[in-house]
Amino acid sequence: MNIAQKTVLITGANRGIGRALVQEALRRGAKRVYAGTRGRLDIADERVTPLMLDVTDAEQIEQAVRRVIGLDGLDVLINNSGIAPYDDLGDPSVIEQALAVNFFGMYKVSQAFLPMLKRSKGALVNNLSLMALAPLPLTPSYAISKAAALSMTQSLRALLAGEGVKVHGVFLGPVDTDMTRGFEIPKASPESVAQGIFTGLENGEEDIFPDPASQSIAEGWRTGVAKEFERQYAGFVPQSAAGR
């Protein structure tokens, strides 16, 4: 999908990868960028429409849907909002919070905007993580939520295949944001990751590996057993369900 003259909604748009995605969408000629944030956004471009959007708040999601419907509709939804708490699985409330944002928030926003994406034959892009494949024990709640989000992404890909909506999963490695401040490891810049995400989207890659760490496993994933199972299981979706 070419982003030029398209409408794009990005959650978690006020900083880090989200902010870089907004700037990259503008650079690639997006017609309008809806920037979902929980606070003030200071990007001065007439093509940017700020949306107050906490992905755990049902009322704010509903208000965002009404506003987007009233303007240009939607071609691309990028689910970027996320939290990565440090924990040891000893406190269930931390797991619940990670799931509330990283899984249920992504699910609820996706469901709310799917009717628009079906009308536009658009794209759903879910920012996941390499930790969806193997957990880092310092942030296990984050890994659990991203693994759930990966499974949802694969399920939606199969279920929406007959609707014309393309579903993309982004496998992020370490990126230089507030989330990874405590890790002294090589990190990609948010700007380079945003470029990689949109390039993957424009190239039609259903699984996008936008940074050096993720690219190192890209071929193994695409030709591996797990991906083969995904393809096989997608065939079990009845045509009536895939095209409803």
Active site residues: 142
Q: Could you write out the three-class secondary structure of the chain?
A: CCCCCCEEEECCCCCHHHHHHHHHHHHCCCCEEEEEECCCCCCCCCCEEEEECCCCCHHHHHHHHHHHHHCCCCCEEEECCCCCCCCCCCCHHHHHHHHHHHHHHHHHHHHHHHHHHHHHCCEEEEECCHHHCCCCCCCHHHHHHHHHHHHHHHHHHHHCHHHCCEEEEECCCCECCHHHCCCCCCCECHHHHHHHHHHHHHCCCCEECCCHHHHHHHHHHHCCHHHHHHHHHHCCCCHHHHCC
In whole angstroms, give the CA distance from residue 27 to residue 139: 34
CA triple 151-200-76, angle to 5 deg = 70
Least Cα distance to 36 among 3, 85, 74, 93 occurs for 74
